[in-house]
Amino acid sequence: MRPTSVTAIGWIIVVTAAVGLLYLPLSIWFVANNTAVRDVMGKNPVPIPLQFGIGAVGLLFRLLAGIFILKGANWARLLYTILGGIGLVYAFLTSPAKTLLVPGIMFYAVIVFFLFTPKANAYFTTSANADNS
């Protein structure tokens, strides 16, 4: 049986990634029409179009991970954990506002903690064994 924490995490990941993907066109429009935001994003060493591309790919992978976390796929929690860590390193290296990363780091740490509790480990191990039967 899937632990409540894994269910909550899976749905949080799915919903936030889906909303992010739906909001992406509006974000692009907003940046294109707001000089102040464009100026801040321009301080990032990565070109603005590439920032949006990286964000879109990240959201797609998060959506995929969230869906498969709910199905008990161990690779999905590993995908979320690894790409989330890479995303935080990328943000730290490229963001002009490092202090704004603290809430994201804390949120990520809590999610990863609950994805690797003994109950979650048992769920993902049992799900993997059920798929191999």
Burial 18-31 (b: 16+ CB within 10 A, else e): eebeeeeeeeeeeb
In whole numbers, what is the pLDDT of the chain averaged over residues? 90
Flag whether pLDDT at 114 surpasses 90.
yes
Instruction: Note the pTM of the prediction, 2 decimals.
Output: 0.86
- For the residues 111-130, what does the mean pLDDT come to? 89
Can you tell me whether residue 1 is helix, strand or coil?
Answer: coil
